Chain A
Amino acid sequence: DAKTTQPTSMDCAEGRAANLPCNHSTISGNEYVYWYRQIHSQGPQYIIHGLKNNETNEMASLIITEDRKSSTLILPHATLRDTAVYYCIVRVAHSRDKLTFGGGTRVLVKP
């Protein structure tokens, strides 16, 4: 798996958009960008994934740069319940390719 680089931590204000960056400069053409989050004492929760096009679902938006070397996860209206560790992971879309978790970004949403 290509390595990813994320900031260790970030704060954001409740009700505002949270923009979480991720660098994956060595990503291969067949690797997807996945985002998961882990709220304290819970299992990792899938958020969104994409290959090269921007993606949006009910939880978040994923913006991938044209060269695919970086991406941004956007939580449009952060709530206190979005406080969690957010993981950006790249992997080939095959079950044999397990998720390899790095340190993630510890996001604290403040009132």
Chain B
Amino acid sequence: DQQVKQNSPSLSVQEGRISILNCDYTNSMFDYFLWYKKYPAEGPTFLISISSIKDKNEDGRFTVFLNKSAKHLSLHIVPSQPGDSAVYFCAASPDRGSTLGRLYFGRGTQLTVWP
């Protein structure tokens, strides 16, 4: 039972263009959402997060949008760079107020940015 879904296993974007990675969730109890980036042979690296009380959070080239009514979030990377090529995981937590010990992850989207 996948509560966090990333329906696009891969995305290919030209350098300098926008990358949009999508994520859907089913559990209305989720109140905190995160994006992680993972390179081969490394652990996931935290990228950006958003609380359910917000609909947008921006950090440099990365922006996360949250649509609670649609249970959908997206990560925008502008401009995309070849170094952004990695697997991106969407994750959700039902209780940020205590600890983020339990995260629910999607299957990931492989982003490839070509020159």
Q: Real complex partners, A and B?
A: no
> Could you tell me which B residues sit within 8 Å of A by CB distance?
none
> Could you tell me which A residues sit within 8 Å of B by CB distance?
none
